[in-house]
Structure 1
Amino acid sequence: MSISNEVSNFEKRFTDDVIEIAAVTGASGVGAGRAAGNTLWQASIPLIGWKKLNSNDPVIKENLRLQWLANDKEFEESRDLLDMNSIVRLQIRKGEGSMMLVKVLETSYQDDDLEVVLQESLKPVFYNDEILGQFELIKSVNTFEKKIIWANDEGLLSFDWFEDNDKMKSALKTAYVLFEQQDEWSQRVKEYAAEELTELANDWLQDDEETEIQEITKEMFMGLMKLSTICVYPEGDFEIFYSDGDMFWGHSIIVCGNIDGKFDSAEIAG
């Protein structure tokens, strides 16, 4: 797709009217994605509240994304264009659930109404579970997490924030099962990962000219796996992240499965 078509398709999502607003940025900074075959990045930063300037309109509290297009150089430069957790003055065009950035007017704007929104957003948010204890919301990724010990390994336990509290309770039920029989689950997860990835680990071993190890056995593979994070989801799904003991030169090992006993995948990432 040509750049002009990319720009045209992007701008069609927004009204033609350019308005001036003040807004509060969210807990994560500038990020970007690029569709396959496209030249331009679609950069964005979350907004959690805004008000139209030069009017009597009240503050609107809503989660949306401020978006713009950028080439490689422009994206690198725009990483520091806007900061998280700040009040800014902008020219924008409105869209459905998002806004298109036209121009940054001020990166440190003063507004009493929006300052209230900002300060409220900076307060810690906790979720208390009667079985697993207190989790803290990591606002940059909308995930609750806490430190845990699972099968004698230290790590983190996390689940996604949902407006629907039943979904969070469902995710925690997944955790209950993993914790009730944690030694058995830890063994099963590691055995599955070793079955799926030991051969690949030995392929990587052949490229390591400094190692003194001749072969990685499945037992050795399991011993080198160290717990990092358990992510639990509704309906019994989970992902368990492990450090790799340098078998894959520092990549993570991720095992995906369900408490019904079915494993979906074991792979390396990062």
Structure 2
Amino acid sequence: MTWPHDVLIACSWFATTDGRNWKIKMTETGEKITGLVGALLAGAGRVGRSENCTLVFYFCAWRTQDGRLLQGKQRCEWQGLDEAQAAAWMQRITSWQQLELVVAGRTTTGALLVQQIGFPEQPDDDLTRLGEIWQQPVVLETALFGGLELDRGLDMYDGVADWGGTEISLSLSCEDAAMPESALATATALFEQQAHWQRQIVACAVEKLLPLKNENWLAEDQSPLTEEAFRGHLEVQSIVAEDEGAFTVYFDDGDLFWGHAIVVSGSLAQGATDADIAG
């Protein structure tokens, strides 16, 4: 299927179904809206030293109190919940579900502040239709990597690709999933010059992490590793290509850091610039 042109749009404006643009306006306290939860699951956490939790979820489309149907990635926050309340709502809110909200305005970053959540007795037909469309698989066909399938929750296109004779995972991470061209260009540049980038990312990992290994991660009675030995443990597992030339490469650490992944990041313009361990 083709991705609707106005599915994901910038936070500064929203598109309506008739093609008009509407500037963000401050939502009135007590305004009621009906929204469609997107693919990303609800989450919750504490902000700063607060004892209360904030529940966070995202609409991909919603109908305003005055009847407009808007589409976009709209963050919603319900603040001041205790841990049990937040956990319960995380279970109740599911992807592609319609919710009725009473909102208390917006945060300075544009998130809707939730005052009350309910469930519509009669689903909105337009939201139902959009949910059905967005649950269909979206595959980006590419000349170099074949078909990459969209993970809507993460705004990534996922697939596999050949790196140095080994099949690895490849993801395109897009600011706007409707426009993956920039991330695809990053991936193409990396894979068309694999030998060059393999040298760069491995050299970065060695420079940043070999001292860490030898100073803090040696097993009992283990001798410090040489650069050659360290390199021999590194094996690329996955690459995430991002907009504007940015990339992240994940290595299997070969037990160098006892199962933690090695992560190297950088850009086409600056090369591999940072390495760390994760997981």
Both structures adopt the same fold (TM-score exceeding 0.5):
yes
Structure 1 or 2: larger helix share?
1
Say whether residues 1:65 and 2:78 are aligned partners. no
Per-residue deviation, 1:136? 1.6
In structure 1, the partner of 2:248 is 239
Amino acid aligned to 1:102: Q
RMSD of equivalent CA atoms: 3.1
TM-score (norm 1): 0.78
Q: 1:58 to 1:147 in 2, by over 3 A?
A: same
CA distance in 1, matches of 2:238, 2:144: 19
Change (3 A) 1:193 1:149: same
User: Could you tell which deviates more after superposition, 119-128 or 89-98?
Assistant: 89-98
TM-score (norm 2): 0.76
What residue ranges of structure 2 are gaps of 5+ in the alignment? 1-24
**Offset of residue 45 of structure 1:** 0.6
Match of 2:32 among 7, 11, 20: 20
2:95 aligns to what?
Answer: 84
Q: Alignment partner of 2:203: what SS? A: helix
3-state secondary structure, aligned to 1:247 = coil
- Could you tell me which of 190, 198, 202 is aligned with 1:178? 190
Q: 1:151 to 1:76 in 2, by over 3 A?
A: same
Deviation readout 1:198-227 (Å, 9 max, x if unpaired): 221234434x56xx8544332232222222
Distance 1:72 1:39 in 2: 9
Q: Which residue of 2 aligns with 1:10?
A: none
Does residue 130 of structure 1 match 2:167? no
Change (3 A) 1:235 1:64: closer
Deviation at 1:119, TM superposition (A): 0.5
- In structure 1, the gaps of 5 or more residues are 1-12
Q: Is the contact between residue 145 and residue 161 of structure 2 (CA under 8 Å) also seen in structure 1?
A: no
C-alpha separation between the residues in 2 aligned to 1:187 and 1:260? 16
| Alignment check: 8 A CA contact 2:40 2:153 kept | yes
Q: Identify if the C-alpha distance between structure 1 residues 238 and 15 changes in structure 2 by more than 3 Å, giving closer, same or farther.
A: closer
2:162 corresponds to: 149
SS of the residue aligned with 1:92?
strand
Q: 1:113 is matched with which residue? A: 126
Contact 1:224 1:245 (8 Å CA) reproduced: yes
Using the TM superposition, give the Cα deviation of residue 168 of structure 1 relative to its aligned residue in structure 2, in angstroms. Answer: 3.8
Which residue is equivalent to 1:75?
86
Q: 1:72 to 1:222 in 2, by over 3 A?
A: farther
CA distance, structure 1, for counterparts of residue 203 and residue 31 of structure 2: 58
Q: Determine if contact 2:145/2:160 at 8 Å carries over to the other structure.
A: no
Which string of whole-angstrom CA distances, capped at 9 and with x for unpartnered residues, describes residues 110-164 of structure 1? 3333211110111122222333332221100111221112112322222233459
Distance, in Å, in 2 between the alignment partners of 1:173 and 1:148 is 15
CA displacement 1:152-179 (0-9 Å, x = unmatched): 23222222334597x7433333322321
Residue matched to 1:103: 116
Q: Distance in 1 between matches of 2:255 and 2:235?
A: 11
Q: CA separation of 1:107/1:148 partners in 2, compared to 1, >3 Å: closer, same or farther?
A: farther
Q: What residue number does 2:228 align with? A: 219
Is 113-122 or 216-225 further displaced after alignment? Answer: 216-225
Does residue 202 (structure 1) correspond to residue 214 (structure 2)? The answer is yes
Assess if the C-alpha contact under 8 Å between 2:168 and 2:236 holds in 1.
yes
- Provide the residue aligned with 1:3 in structure 2: none
Separation in structure 1 between the aligned mates of residue 134 and residue 64 of structure 2, nearest angstrom: 20
Identity of aligned residues (%): 26
> Aligned pair 1:46/2:58, yes or no?
yes
Output the CA distance in 1 between the equivalents of 2:239 and 2:120. Answer: 38
